[in-house]
Chain A
């Protein structure tokens, strides 16, 4: 292969330092750190409480959630933070001219295949994030920043499994 075209992204080490500063700011201001899956959990709880209030009152998951939270589940730190993530990602996309509707996929597979696997991957990640009490952001990155044992276990389990399975899903990516 002669020449590999590179997109215009920030130097990854610089991006990493800035990411670290965001995590430090979150800990300094709020005594906690960034996350993503927790906001989805809040949205699911809020949705079920609205659509099926009787079910939300009796099912264990929602009862346990409400024991640890008061008020509207959407009025939470992670929900506001995730709204910020969407805006921040959008602003970055505007600045770097990356706004475009597309299904990003390897030309060797169809868009349809890509979307099927995106859906399957999303379902698994959503399910796994609940077992893991947080995802790559909330459990692995944030946990590692405060040297939490759980953060390192999450990180190794997530990346280790993905590496172990990479061979079987190679057609999706290479």
Chain B
């Protein structure tokens, strides 16, 4: 049955319309969770507010577990779902640059749009920065095209990489997530900070 657009159950135009509604759900949940606040987002790195870790990992395990079950029931063909390509060098390099941007700016791209949507001026400035950063990448592309395309590994799933079943990996992910949730709850009690 799923993915609906790939199996031509819905048209491309319907798909684009539904993208808008998926976005509404995404933005709504992020804002409700507190991701429109840079103070809350940055909190995870100091322990006073670990909402990022809780929402992010609960989301990841819910989604991966849900998709695995849907695949088991025959509701979705996971071979037709987009799996991110892995270019090892630029994935690590990009992650490092993004991590620096995260701790300085207090937002990531998706959350900055949520912050801007409720009037956070720092989020709007962050978004302007995003556009500048992407533009710099585009214009300087010949300089880093080699790095960008180095060490292509295909489209591997992490379970294939470790040579274990997807279900077993998902179970391990859940166990790690629960331990992190426990640590997160402890940290919030240990390093409380007044809101501003």
Contacts and interface: CB of A to CB of B under 8 A. Distances in A.
List 8 A-B pairs, minimum CB-CB distance, nearest first: A121-B105, A122-B129, A84-B23, A157-B95, A126-B133, A16-B58, A20-B62, A161-B99
Given A20-B62, A34-B22, A85 B27 contact: yes
Interface residues of A, number: 127
Secondary structure of the A contact surface, majority rule: helix
Nearest to B5: A30
B29 A131 contact: no
B169 A147 contact: yes
A98 B6 CA distance: 39
Interface of B: 2-6, 10, 15-34, 36-40, 42-43, 45-46, 48, 51, 54-64, 66-67, 70, 75-76, 78, 80-88, 90-123, 125-139, 141-142, 144-145, 147-148, 153, 155-161, 166, 169-170, 173, 181, 192-196
A99 to B, nearest CB: 5
Nearest to A31: B3
B132 A26 contact: no
B55 A36 contact: no
Contacts of B66: 20-21, 24
B59 A16 contact: yes
Contacts of B82: 31-33, 146
Given A84-B22, A118-B123, A145 B64 contact: yes
A88 B16 contact: no
A104 B37 contact: yes
Contact of B121 (A16, A40, A101, A126): A101
A12 B86 contact: no
Contacts of A137: 26, 108-110
7 contacts: A16-B54, A20-B60, A30-B22, A125-B126, A128-B99, A129-B130, A141-B56
Given A4-B192, A9-B34, A29-B4, A34 B109 contact: no
Contacts of A133: 84-85, 87, 90-91, 94
Nearest to A96: B32
A20 B58 CA distance: 7
A21 to B, nearest CB: 7
Contacts of A20: 58-63, 66
Interface string A136-158: 11111111111111111111111
A108 to B, nearest CB: 9
A162 B142 CA distance: 28
A121 B194 CA distance: 24
Nearest to A136: B108
Nearest to B16: A80
